[in-house]
A and B are shown apart, each in its own frame.
Chain A
Amino acid sequence: MSVTKALPHDAARLHVTGAARYVDDIPVPADCLHLAFGLAPIAAGRITTLDLAPVRDAPGVALVLEAADLDRPADCSPSAHDEPLLSGHSIHYLGQPVFLVAATSHLAARKAARRAVIETQKRDAVLSVDDALGVNARFEDGPRIWEKGDAGEAIDAAPHVVTGAIDVGGQEHFYLEGQCALALPQEGGDMVVHASTQHPTEIQHKVADALGLPMHAVRVETRRMGGGFGGKESQGNALAIACAIVAAKTGRPAKMRYDRDDDMTITGKRHDIRIEYSAGFDEEGRLLGVEFVHLMRCGWAQDLSLPVADRAMLHADNAYHLPSARIESHRLKTNTQSATAFRGFGGPQGMMGIERVMDHAAHVLGLDPLEIRRRNYYAEADDSAAAHGAEGTASRLSGKVKPPGGPDPDSGAAAAPAGSEPVKDAADNPHVDLASRGAQGTVPEGRAPEGTHAAQTTPYGMAVEDFVLGTMTGRLAESCDYAARRAAIAEWNAQSEVLKRGLALTPVKFGISFTLTHLNQAGALVHVYQDGSLVLNHGGTEMGQGLFQKVAQVTAEVFGLDTGAVKITATDTGKVPNTSATAASSGSDLNGMAAKTAALTIRDRMADFLAAEHQARAAEVRFDGGMVTVAGSEMPFAEAVKRCYEGRVSLSSTGFYKTPKLQWDRIKGQGRPFFYFAHGAACSEVVIDTLTGEHRILRTDILHDCGRSLNPALDRGQIEGGFVQGAGWLTSEELVWDDDGRLTTHAPATYKIPACSDRPDIFNVELWQEDNREETIYRSKAVGEPPFMLGMSVFFALSDAIAACGPGYPMLDAPATPEEVLRAIGRARG
């Protein structure tokens, strides 16, 4: 078996010897130009004078472009066509690219860019949530509102009501490799672009659009990224477009790499959010109704903010059955970097609301927070309903036809403002980026399959039928000795004046699929060469997560080979077209399935031929252990391939996959946006110093649901890394803008991501390996994003420790920096 093996990362050998190439490592011709942007010095207003003569005169400068110099508008937006590459005279955030310098070296370009004389006329910048609400600066006409039942009435009638608000900060991706792109001009005006991107197809589309070329004239290649985390879904567009424009104008290769300060100043980050909540509980701590208001700062351009804010709403329930709920989401427009995708894509923000409600209610009702959480969990999945189909049937899904019928007109309980989201016909507008999560779907979807009758539903009407957190939580609580440690900590805190400990066990239930249904498709290309070696290409990109290895395992498995037989090649829009971003945790699910389909096509052709040769049936041909067996005779795979080649059998195939069962109406907030849910639970113990607010994570125990893991070693890496990144988001990673709208934390000297010494002293990670009930690739589950939210356990452990300081509820905001912890201690003490 190749799948389920804990194989190391396919590029590990290259990484440890320094041989792995990133975009900036690709050798370039000597005449390559290097690019830098000149940035806006104010957050809002107009440029009254832009004198670029000193820039043009700087040493090494070959070309300087401002917006008016572009032959055609160049847009970088993945959605609303509202991000011009260069600002023109109107400025929307401090750090917005105003002009572009191309010079003979990276340093020469950067030095030249600083020589511009820019005079400006400032206007009042809209920076905060309150600023934006005050002037009604927002995307979409009004808030998006989804409702289930009458939450207001349920809360009014509830014996216990908790109300409050929580501010949750944004997060810088801090991919170790900054944004980078390289454009190489080709014959006939064609362009080849190497980009550090999670979305080569979007780069292809945006570059083609900027150059006025059809997509077939642009080829984008991505071998790997030095980290992405969502920050390279749309934020690399500007660099690739800039390089392509300069390359087209000059006929010379052009490369652009942001240095770290520019990267953090220019690019978008995770959306920060203020969540206002009101929740009613019965005497036993069961939630009766809850209302959330999400106030999200989206920055100056739309980017992916609508689907991010949607996903925050979609995770407002996290693991809890909400009998009635009202979720109101405001997507606020501010003069800051355009907030963008970041691991979890709004899901983490949405979950923080309900987790705060549970924590707050536990404090008010005097219950253990874990107890109140468990009482409100969705009902556990019915084991008898679990699908345990044979492996190998999954590939047939690719041809499955959705059941006919349109959306149920009676199913929408939501009261969203009608008609606020006109769906444009993409065919009429060639600028629309169809493969972006910021796009609008235009193809009507079939009706989602009905859930079993008794299943509980999410606030958006999806039946929850695969919930396993009840069992998982029980297992984790036992293995981490939750109850005994809870008691021990209470005792310890009673004796300890200055230091206080806290403990929290929090769940994660994360929906897997792109919420824009048409993105849930993937393609792959497999070649088998005469010598029995294979080449694999698919639409997913490698950013360290191990996607390439997982898909190679799937491909090797089909032929009964070791992964060593499979060469994994760079993602290339010329090989597999119309790909979706490697995002939404969907990489292995989609591309694994597509690759399997391609491999099965070739294997079936080989089996047919070999069977005919031996007067056997194709079904009897076996591919296993590097050998092919037919009618009692056994030959090495390479020999079988040679025979097939000489028998004129096609040894190359594409494969295609689309996720079944999806149907989603984002305006109504109704349907089945997710194929399945991935689960996890974490228990963290922390200690705080009540004099300084400093804190440490003493121990974390994690149990995470990977389905039947394709590769437990890679999955473990995602879990550990995701947890630490999530904990960083909620503790040390603080973005600070000054009153002028300048991001003051624009480098790691002022922005603190977790270091090796920050992770838990004791760190136990276990995989929950039970088959996915849905027919995913070898019954595995997606694991990219879900573990990120395990970091919430640290935040609520801190809240627990602070609560030990006094009678009040701490009302802790995130990130829980030492300063914030001190403030919360003050609130707890009253």
Chain B
Amino acid sequence: MAQTRMIRLTVNGETGSYTVPVRQNLVDFIRNDLGLTGSHVGCEHGVCGACSIEVNGDLVRGCLMFAVQADGAEITTIEGLAESGRGAALRAAFTARNALQCGYCTPGMLATALDYVEGGGAADRDAIRAHLSGNYCRCTGYQSIVDAVCDVIEGRVEA
């Protein structure tokens, strides 16, 4: 089996071709090859959620997917969200609610929260907590994160 393979994919609206080692994780590709370091590596086996990104509209753990599997895919990282303006209300709410401290979990947490909000999730704290339970935060105790998501759903935030 070849050790590398050519892939073509679109990241944050920019399409390009890349040669990647076949065993390279998607998040390592995004961080090291594309220089998009907003996606963080926390546990590297799919538990902490810090590397959560959007692949073809689905929420994916960047450490549990190989870069070659993303051939042909459309990927949005935290940087792409910021550029496009998508999720602006969540970013404003996370800031206003102090829903972050060290910030390391924040990009993954925002991606997961956006998945909930854009999926039409209700401002139901239990449902939000269940949805966010795959993303660890060691700093905040989560209260302010749930507050921020509720604020966005209930329209209390000016983006």
Contacts and interface: CB of A to CB of B under 8 A. Distances in A.
Nearest to A8: B95
A757 B130 contact: yes
Contacts of B126: 761
A756 B47 contact: no
B104 A18 contact: no
A363 B104 CA distance: 44
Interface in B59-110: 77-79, 82, 90-91, 94-96, 98, 100-107, 110
A174 B104 CA distance: 12
A176 B136 contact: yes
A748 B47 CA distance: 6
A235 B105 CA distance: 21
Nearest to B140: A721
Contact of A9 (B36, B90, B101, B137): B101
B45 interface: yes
B42 A176 contact: yes
Contact of A544 (B40, B101, B110, B134): B101
B26 interface: no
Given A175-B138, A260-B42, A720 B143 contact: yes
A176 B100 contact: no
B37 A756 contact: no
B100 A16 contact: yes
Interface in A448-470: none
Interface string A1-37: 0000000110111111111111011010000000000
Given A19-B38, A724-B142, A717 B101 contact: yes
Nearest to B23: A107
A165 interface: no
Contact of B45 (A9, A18, A229, A260): A260
A544 B103 contact: yes
A706 B48 CA distance: 31
B122 interface: no
Contacts of A20: 103
Interface residues of B, number: 54
Contacts of B50: 176
Given A176-B136, A177-B42, A14 B47 contact: no
Main secondary structure of the interface of A (DSSP, over half): loop
Interface string A737-772: 000000000011100011111010101010000000
A18 B79 contact: yes
B52 to A, nearest CB: 12
A756 B77 contact: no
Contacts of A259: 44
A725 B145 CA distance: 16
A15 B78 CA distance: 10
Given A18-B77, A176-B138, A753-B136, A759 B143 contact: yes
Given A16-B82, A755-B136, A748 B101 contact: no
Nearest to A543: B102
Interface string B120-153: 0000001011101111111111111110000000
A545 interface: yes
A227 B39 contact: no
Contacts of A616: none
Given A17-B78, A27-B35, A177 B40 contact: yes
Nearest to B48: A748
Contact of B100 (A9, A173, A229, A722): A9
Contact of B139 (A107, A227, A755, A759): A227
A284 B30 CA distance: 66
A757 B98 CA distance: 19
A723 interface: yes
B81 to A, nearest CB: 8
A721 B95 contact: no
B6 interface: no
B79 A226 contact: no
Contacts of B95: 8-9, 12-13, 16
Given A227-B139, A756-B145, A16 B91 contact: yes
B43 interface: yes
Contacts of B144: 716-717, 720
Q: Which of B36, B126, B129 has the largest number of chain A CB atoms within 10 A?
A: B129
B11 interface: no
Contacts of B106: 15-16
B3 to A, nearest CB: 10
A227 B104 contact: yes
Interface string A708-721: 00000110110011
B41 A24 contact: yes
A810 interface: no
A198 to B, nearest CB: 12
B133 A756 contact: yes
Nearest to B126: A761
Given A22-B40, A25-B37, A725-B141, A226 B104 contact: yes
A177 B102 contact: yes
Given A16-B95, A749-B47, A756-B135, A720 B104 contact: no
B45 A749 contact: yes
Contact of B40 (A13, A16, A226): A226
A176 B136 CA distance: 8
A127 to B, nearest CB: 26
A718 to B, nearest CB: 8
Interface in A82-127: 107
Contacts of A765: 143
A789 to B, nearest CB: 14
Contacts of B38: 17-19
A225 interface: yes
Interface of B: 28, 31, 35-45, 47-48, 50, 77-79, 82, 90-91, 94-96, 98, 100-107, 110, 126, 128-130, 132-146
What 8 A-B pairs come out closest when comparing CB atoms? A18-B38, A544-B102, A226-B104, A544-B101, A15-B103, A18-B78, A724-B141, A720-B141
Given A545-B101, A721-B101, A763-B141, 14 more contacts: A16-B94, A18-B78, A18-B82, A173-B138, A174-B138, A176-B136, A224-B103, A260-B43, A544-B100, A713-B98, A749-B43, A755-B142, A756-B129, A759-B129
26 contacts: A12-B95, A12-B98, A15-B107, A17-B79, A17-B82, A18-B36, A18-B82, A24-B37, A177-B40, A177-B42, A178-B42, A226-B40, A226-B104, A259-B44, A543-B102, A545-B101, A717-B139, A720-B144, A722-B141, A724-B141, A747-B45, A748-B43, A748-B45, A748-B47, A756-B128, A756-B146
